[in-house]
Amino acid sequence: MKRYHVIVEGQVQGVGFRGFVTLQAQKRKLTGSVKNMSNGMVEIFVQGEEEDIDSFLAAVAKGDGRFIRVDDITVKQTEVKPDEKRFSYGWF
Catalytic residue among 3, 18, 66, 86: 18
- Domain housing 8: 2-80
Instruction: Indicate whether 87 belongs to any domain.
Output: no
Asked if 42 and 35 touch (Cβ cutoff 8 Å), the reply is yes
16 found inside a domain: yes
Greatest distance between any 2 Cα atoms in the chain: 35
Examine residue 88 and state whether it is found in any structural domain, yes or no. no
Whole-model pTM?
0.94
Q: What string of pLDDT tens digits covers the 92 residues of the chain?
A: 999 999 999 999 989 999 999 999 999 999 999 999 999 999 999 999 999 999 999 999 999 888 999 999 999 999 999 999 999 987 54
How many domains, the chain? 1
Q: Is 3 a catalytic residue?
A: no
For residue 89, is it within any domain? no
Catalytic residue among 28, 36, 66, 69: 36
In a domain, 57, yes or no: yes
Which residues, other chains included, contact 71 with Cβ-Cβ below 8 Å and sequence gap of 6+? Answer: 9, 10, 11
36 classed as catalytic: yes
State the CB neighbour count (10 A cutoff) for residue 52: 17
